[in-house]
Amino acid sequence: MVESSRASAHDGLAIEVVADAAEMGRRAADVVVETVIAKPACVLAVPTGTTPLPFFTELIARRRRGEVDFSAAHLFCLDEYLGLSPDRPNSLTHWLMDAFIEPAGITPERRHLIPATSPDPEAAAAAYEADLAALGGLDLAVVGLGPNGHVAYNEPGSGPETRTRVIELTAESITQAGAYWPGEDPVPGWAMTMGIGTLLEAKRIVLIVSGDSKAEMLRRTLLDPMDDDVPASWLRLAGGRLSVIADRDAAGALGTATD
């Protein structure tokens, strides 16, 4: 079941409310497949975390059925803990390799990893931006919504002008990450993230959200005034290039915005 509507408070913002997380994954996968078929060498970004798992499952299934071919696509990672290399089990990149990049068949030369281990993070972040710009920027960015309103790892306080950079994580984000952090080593307090300004230059942005724990933050993201306190709210500056796909639980606080 799909219930589609537009937010009456914000012209041009498409909010698609679907029955559950599995349907959210299928609808987000539709957008990715359309993008890849239209432009096989497209430039993509996808999130980490539990929210995109149904989305990844659907994309991998479609690839195995021969419905989509990612071999020419470029994948830019959104974020990584500062100092963690991709071979570390706790790294976001390692997780994404297992969950999506490798089973999707994205070739090694088209995997653009956050340079979180560089001895000069500022220069490395600038080079990451330059690599993305040289490919024409993101054709599609699929992003999730953090419990504190972060998008990628743009924590509260991040504005719409931000680019790829090192950022200090909030205590809330560190606590949340701890649930996925095996072993005794502490969760790093810093990360490198693609900036909101970088994301806003994408030709299309899809925000995926599931679960009632995200309902209030999704309401703030879409209906309250845009503000650095809720960095994801700045995605609305993309206007018609932004689509929101939320399951019924996540959309529960939107009220008349989806009537």
- Residue 242, domain extent: 2-253
Catalytic site residue from 16, 23, 139, 155: 155
Q: Tens digits of per-residue pLDDT, 76-129? A: 999 999 999 999 989 999 999 999 999 999 999 999 999 999 999 999 999 999
Give burial (CB, 10 Å; 0-12/13-18/19+) of 117: middle
154 is an active site residue: no
Can you tell me which residue has the tokens 């470029």?
Answer: 74
Confidence class of residue 42 from pLDDT cuts 50, 70 and 90?
Answer: very high
Q: How far is CA 178 from CA 53, 93, 185, 249, in A?
A: 18, 16, 10, 24
Gap between the Cα atoms of 135 and 110, Å rounded:
11
Domain-embedded: residue 130 = yes
135 has pLDDT over 70:
yes
Sign of CA dihedral 178, 243, 141, 196: negative
Selecting among 79, 80, 247, 249, the annotated active-site residue is 79
Choosing from 94, 148, 228, 229, the catalytic residue is 148
Is residue 146, in this structure, part of any structural domain at all? yes
Tell whether 258 is covered by a domain: no
> Is residue 163, in this structure, part of any structural domain at all?
yes
Alpha helices in 120-214 (DSSP H): 121-134, 171-178, 196-200
Residue 35 CA, chain-centre distance (Å), reads 16
Q: How many domains would you assign to the chain?
A: 1
- Residue 166 falls within a domain, yes or no? yes
The reply to whether 143 falls in a domain is yes
Per-residue model confidence as pLDDT tens digits over 144-189: 999 999 999 999 999 999 999 999 999 999 998 887 777 768 889 9
Q: What is the CATH number of the domain that holds 195?
A: 3.40.50.1360
Is 12 within a domain? Answer: yes
Q: Is 94 a catalytic residue?
A: no
79 is a catalytic site residue: yes
Query: Where do the DSSP E strands lie in the chain?
Result: 2-6, 14-18, 43-45, 74-76, 79-81, 111-112, 140-143, 165-168, 190-193, 205-209, 242-247
Catalytic residue among 23, 80, 150, 249: 150
Confidence of residue 23 (pLDDT cuts 50, 70, 90): very high
Residue 89, domain member (yes or no): yes
Beta carbons within 8 Å of 241's beta carbon, 6+ residues apart? 202, 203, 204, 205
